[in-house]
Amino acid sequence: MKNLVNVSHWIANAYLIYAFGYASLFKVFQKQSMMENMNNFGFGKVWTLFIGYGELLGVIGLIVGIWMHQVKNLSVLWLFPFAIGALITHFAHNDYQYHYTALFCCIACMVALVTDKNFKLIL
């Protein structure tokens, strides 16, 4: 059981690095299709770059977090609003075909935090 929790934790983190990694780089390097899609969602070039750099900061934190768990947890918390925002944006624009990545990112954020032995949320 302990191995299953550990494996699911690292799979969730790897998925977050993958999903936010390519999405942020597409925004930062201004890939034409990403810029057009973000423009269709109502985000101009400045906001697209702002979102891209924010996501890239979170991805760098996740990579550094492999060695420093506090940075990893902070990065997951940083990326969670981006995942929620992406999911809501896809829903708001009736883009139900491509919302799965954002949905899986939301789930991966929760799994990464719940399965981390160094993270506690006290309410």
35 pLDDT more than 80: yes
Instruction: Work out whether the CA dihedral 90, 91, 94, 99 comes out positive or negative.
Output: positive
Distances (CA, A) of 89 to 86, 94, 103: 5, 9, 11
- Confidence band of 117 (pLDDT split at 50, 70, 90): confident
Is the whole-model pTM more than 0.85? Answer: yes
Q: Which of 53-57, 76-80, 81-85, 113-117 has the lowest mean pLDDT?
A: 113-117
Average pLDDT of the chain to the nearest whole number: 92
120 pLDDT more than 90: no
**Cβ neighbourhood burial of 105 (10 Å; 0-12, 13-18, 19+):** buried
Q: State which amino acid sits at residue 66.
A: I
